[in-house]
Amino acid sequence: MNEHAPALHIDTLRFRYPSSVTDSPWVVDVGSFSLGVGEQVLLTGASGRGKSTLLYLIAGLIEPAGGSVSVAGRDIFSVRGSQRDLFRGTKIGMIFQTFNLLHGFSALENVLAALLFSSIRPKEHDARAKELLDAVGIDSPGREVTQLSIGQQQRVAVARAVATSPAVVLADEPTASLDPENAEAAMDLIQSTCRSVGAALLCTSHDPAMATRFTRSESIDDLATPVRA
């Protein structure tokens, strides 16, 4: 992989749901977008404008109608099946609005699951997971995640997202379910943790106040492919 490549580069990416008629508007239409190594960018837009869908495309969880998404210099759509899963697990961290933690498993086990995709030697996984959980303020790594508070669950989700030292972390409305005070603390944690591992951050939100936390903010509506005359 190209070590000088941006953390993320998108070129002429388009998507509409398979059930849509062929002339229906694109759900996602991004002409060109890049995220530098370690850069943190806020992606704004009203609900229903395709922000979450764009993150799923970047992660290679759904297939586009056209275009490319390169993470750390590699087009994620150039690999398929288990190889894509492995690439995603290694290079992309994800923080979902609903956390998507593994219920029935402890905080430690949730982070260990992410480390299965890493190049870190297996015998070092336990120490790495405990170190990350300690860094985000989880002092009971053996507790089952449903026994943790919402704020603690988010901390586990952040630790899991950066476990493999990914090139980019995708955060989908990460504070939507939190009150203002906890939302501030959560964003402090997400941004500082990404900085500590050198991961770029692409965070979606429809909250205009979030823009004060980022030096760069982009509206999804402004990323559309220019119409040619």
pLDDT tens digits for the chain (229 residues)? 556 789 999 999 999 988 776 778 889 999 999 999 999 999 998 888 899 999 999 999 999 999 999 999 999 999 999 999 999 999 999 998 888 899 999 999 999 999 998 888 999 999 999 999 999 999 999 999 999 998 899 999 999 999 999 999 999 998 887 778 888 888 999 999 999 999 999 999 887 788 999 999 999 999 987 655 4
Predicted TM-score of the model (pTM): 0.91
CA dihedral 32, 38, 39, 42 (to 10 degrees): 90
Domains of the chain with CATH codes: 8-223 (3.40.50.300)
Bridge partners of residue 169, in order along the sequence = 93, 201
| Cα-Cα-Cα-Cα dihedral sign, residues 50, 52, 53, 54 | positive
CA geometry: angle at 216 spanning 28 and 210, to 5°? 85
